Chains A and B, each alone.
Chain A
Amino acid sequence: MTVLGPRTGSEAVALYEKNPQAIPLAGGTDLMVAWNRGTLNHKTILDLSAVREWRAIAKTETGVLIGSLLPLSELQKDPVIFEKFPLLVQAASIVGAWQIQNRATLAGNIANASPAGDTFPPLVVYEAVVHTVSPHGPRSIPVREVFAGVKKTTLGPGELIASIELPFLKQNPDRQLFRKVGGRAAMTISKTAAAGLLWLKPDGAVKELRFALGSMAPTVRRLRAAEKFVKGKKLTPEIVSEALELLKKDVSPIDDWRSTIEYRLRVSQNLLEAFLLGHVPQR
């Protein structure tokens, strides 16, 4: 095994260009599983852990830039992220366990593109933007467009994630929700995971709904049909039950050894229903 150890972002890009087969290593929480299974033998690893410039958090007028290599445990401690993006903090706090959160990074999570990535539903409802660098220059991609399928991204050859930008919400949501449903209380892969933001008009009609589900399709999904349907409407039981039907349009859950289609769908609907009817306690 060959390990390349760049110390700056530009060094990383240059080394990656020269070694296009190299596998980038961020926190290593997924990569080390492959290492233990011996599937990385004879491979080249691009170890990014010494690239300090990608571990910082920067605040701008319009949002927060999270360095791609910032460990999830650090992310949770940032007061601005904690205040403005609580769903992401909640998601980060239930990834694996503390030991994993000390290593795992947002960028590693994104680049790994698991259908069950815990941080994705919040990133998608916050409409995060992924900033990348490559020999062809920098690029900014809406987070949902990064995911191309199970463990597949739209990142090009030689392209590395430098930061993730979370734009501030124009207005605080009236309701918000994050809920991961896994096999047990910790160290578990989700069966479904939901993130929701809801803004209401003074008359109680929906101004905007953003709702995303993880583990319910090859990639994280926004519930476009349901979001569009409830816009401008009051959330009566009839409207909510129609929205629950529309949920199915944007997801394609599967039966596997972690759960069943029936369970995943029903629980996702339960979460959306409770959220829309205001039955989820707000902090």
Chain B
Amino acid sequence: MDIVNSPGEHPPNSRQPAVTRLGDRVFLGMSRGSGILLLVIMAAIAVFLTVRAIHAISLDHSDFFTTFEWNANLQPPSFGIAVLAYGTVVSSLIAMIIAVPVSVGIALFISHYAPRKLATPLAYLVDLLAAVPSIVYGLWGGLYLVPHLQGLNLWLNEYLSWTGIFHKSDPSSAARSLFTVGILLAIMIVPIITNVSREVFRQVPKAHEEAALALGATRWEVVRMSVLPFARSGIISASMLGLGRALGETMAVATVLSASPVLSARLLDPVGGTFAQNIAAKFAEADNFGRDALIASGLVLFVITLLVNGAARLIIARRKEYSGANA
């Protein structure tokens, strides 16, 4: 057995091929194959979406990006994504504003503050919550959360209606608004963000925490000086996972929101819609062309997700020099 040649390394000054072993070749083939398969699937999805979407948009009688209504079944068809894009982005934004700080707090509590006896069951509980199907959250949201958020809605309307966004046009209407959707989405994505963040917090090297402790840092200062900076990119990744779920959530939105093609800055009004909710609502009654139109809206959602992810990667990469990951 030639012990100099390890697989994949060619010995210098030698024209002989490196020794290869069957196991290595099989494994290389399998991993390379999986990688290629992934690219093929991605390309297939992209091509499928793009071809059908372009077909639909080319026959759209009104402007695809600025039209409020979705009437793909009319002759001529007239549909647009303005309300859907607005509703999707706004409800996800509300969800992120609520969920990220709460999740980071829960994760920090589990990893750094709670006694072990409490931390272990708590972590387990969070994992469990992450596994609850979204239809269950949706049913709970539609039947329980909507009536119980009415009080908060009215309170916001009374004290914060001067901001405009918390002005409720008809105080007697149910809380089937983008705001409620945002809160429900926040509840849904807290477990996943918490879960990933906690994993990152646990990986903070003990040496960094002891460095802060030995300088005379309090527990919070240890968290601020060594834990949070180290975990920063991990928190961003966790948030992106949560955001992905929020952007694409269907059933939970469909059970809560009274969809109507109105684009309103008043978050408490029962109007609006999101991409996923619109697709779910219109898919059954859509003919072939109507489905292509819905696919076009799905493609826009896809692009939004890509943009958000790209932006997150930029943020992470910009401070790579200071990243704790390579220390």
Chain B binds chain A: no
Instruction: Name B's A-contacting residues (CB within 8 A).
Output: none
